[in-house]
Amino acid sequence: MRVFVKVIVERDSPDHWSAWFADHPELTFGSETPGGATAALLDRFGDSLFDPNEPIVNVAEAVREGHLEFMVALKGANRIPLPSVN
């Protein structure tokens, strides 16, 4: 069974975009471009968590000015590891 995670990317200012997992907004990474912000977020977890052979799928119905959403395939039944707040 293929498991996907949704990535949300939003423009914070004219020169900055932020990306986070829909279920984990506390894990936010930013860049000057939507692709850069998405890459920073996904690179944090690397190929051990995400399947590099699966395409990143745009959620077309969610796209609007300054807002993008993508679905990214996880390897196996992996889940996003969360940082400890303790």
Percent of the chain with pLDDT over 90: 41
Q: Is-contact 2 9, C-beta < 8 A?
A: no
Instruction: Identify which has the larger pLDDT, 1 or 15.
Output: 15
What would the CATH number be for the domain defined by 3-74?
3.30.160.250
Task: Give the residue from 24, 55, 58 showing the smallest Cα distance to 41.
Answer: 24
C-alpha separations of 49 from 18, 46, 67, 75, 76 in Å? 20, 6, 25, 6, 9
Cite the beta strand spans of the chain per DSSP E. Answer: 3-13, 16-21, 24-31, 57-58, 67-74
Which of 42-46, 68-72, 76-80, 82-86 has the highest mean predicted lDDT (pLDDT)? 68-72
- Percent of the chain beyond pLDDT 70? 85
3-state secondary structure of 45: helix
Report the predicted TM-score, pTM, of the whole model to 2 decimal places: 0.80
